Amino acid sequence: MTGTIHKSQIQKVFNQNEAYLSLIIVAYSILVTSLNPSFLSFENLLDLGKSSASMGIMAIGVFVVLLSGGIDMSFTAIAISGQYIAANVLIASGVDNIYFAFLISCLVGLSLGAVNGLIISYFKIPTFIATLGTLNVFHGILLTVVGTKAVNSAQLPDCFKKFGATNVFTVVKPEGGSYGLSIFTVIFIAVALLTWFILTYTQLGRGIYAIGGDMEAAKRSGMNVFNIQFFIYCYVGILAGIAGVLHVSLIRYSNPTYLVGSELSVIAPVVLGGTRITGGSGTVIGTILGVAMITLLNNSLILIGLSSFWQEFFTGVIVAISVSLSSYQIRKSMMI
């Protein structure tokens, strides 16, 4: 008797988490639109899709790590390293090609991710400590070895700027000017789909869920836990590399001190999206909704006319509330 009540309630909490979040997003959008009608315009939505892509891709990476029961604190340092090194190599070599930029940034991401993966799976250091350490190591090396001078818009190779302005389709406004669906958004969706496919339909992906659920049981069932963890941190590294290039293409400026320090604002949407911080549970859809919610919040504050300093405050509040709510619901259902 007690068993069934317990079961259905927990099930509800997790199945409904995403539904709740969608509902909040819709309700909030309506509220903001009533205050500022320009909010719910097609143009603004497409623009949000573009500006949130870089954060979204990193959030997907963080989601995969959290799912496996770990955490990565170093991905911002990886993203900025990939971006800054790619920009500098392109300038130095004179090759003005965005594919080359992606290649370099992703290679940097892959190698730094591999360092994380090796440290974590070989030396069995807790992931939080390991990546907090490598965050500083990676960033320190970047600043001392590669440089501290920002690449400004004039110096930045044209391919970044062109890439930043690329739209998959463009709408010309009657009053002049145009807007469209940015390639950024498409890349974000592609990354999300790929991640969803890996997690749902591959042995590797199920292994990620499995080690997040019970590491010991995973070992006993004959999974190669070492390989799975190594893959995860390499994957996050590559995603950070992609995010780095999107970031510089968006703001047309590469400063090696950017991004680092914003780890929590990327982890926040993942947690908001219902991914359990202890591992084993969470969905790609949830993560995307989390990113949407945080993006919406940040954007709307400006539209409403609040200073952007309020962003951090509201991000913090919303994460605290959502996590407390779900943990309260779980606790309530456990007590019956």
Partner 1 sequence: MAEDFLKIQNVSKLYSGVQALDNVSMSIGQGEVHCLVGENGSGKSTLIKIIAGVVTPDGGEIIVRGKSYKNLRPIDSINEGIQVIYQDLSLFPNLSVAENISLNQLIEEKKKIINWKEVKNIASSVLSTIKKELDLNEKVENISIANKQLVAICRALLRNAKLIIMDEPTTAITKKEIDKLLSVILDLKESGISTLFVSHKLSEVLQIAEKVTVLRDGKKVGDYNAGELDYDTLSFYMSGKKIDHSVFDYQERADQKTLLEVKDLSKKGQFEDISFKLRPGEIVGMIGSLGSGRTEVALSLFGLNKPDSGSIYMNGEPVKINSPRKAISLGLCYLPEDRLNQGLFLKQSIQNNVVVTNLRKILTKSKLLNYSKKYEYAKMWVDELNINVPSLEIAVQALSGGNQQRVVIAKWLATDPKVFILDSPTVGIDVNSKSNIHNLIRQLAKKGIGVIMISDEVPEIVHNCNRILVMADGRIIQEVDTVDITEDKLFDLVSSNSKNSEG
Q: Which residues bind partner 1 (CB under 8 A)?
A: 1-7, 10-11, 200-206, 209-210, 212-214, 216-218, 220-223, 279-281, 335-336
DSSP E strands, 127-194: 167-172, 178-182
Minimum distance of partner 1 from residue 1's CB (angstroms):
6
DSSP per-residue codes, 104-136: HHHHHHHHHHHHHHHHHHHH---HHHHHHHHHH
Minimum distance of partner 1 from residue 220's CB (angstroms):
5
CB 225 within 8 A of CB 215: yes
Residues in the chain: 336
Q: Residue 232 — φ and ψ, nearest 5°?
A: -55, -50
Minimum distance of partner 1 from residue 221's CB (angstroms):
5
CB 108 within 8 A of CB 166: no
Closest CA to 86 of 110, 108, 112, 69: 108
Cβ nearer to partner 1, comparing 11 with 178: 11
Q: How many CB atoms lie within 10 A of CB 138?
A: 23
Cβ nearer to partner 1, comparing 178 with 227: 227
What Rg do the C-alpha atoms of the chain give, in angstroms?
21
Minimum distance of partner 1 from residue 203's CB (angstroms):
6
Cβ nearer to partner 1, comparing 8 with 324: 8
**Distances in Å between the alpha carbon of 298 and those of 150, 267, 305?**
26, 15, 11
Cβ nearer to partner 1, comparing 68 with 134: 68
Cβ nearer to partner 1, comparing 4 with 308: 4
Give residue 124's identity as a one-letter amino acid code: K
Cβ nearer to partner 1, comparing 49 with 212: 212
Minimum distance of partner 1 from residue 205's CB (angstroms):
8
Minimum distance of partner 1 from residue 194's CB (angstroms):
14
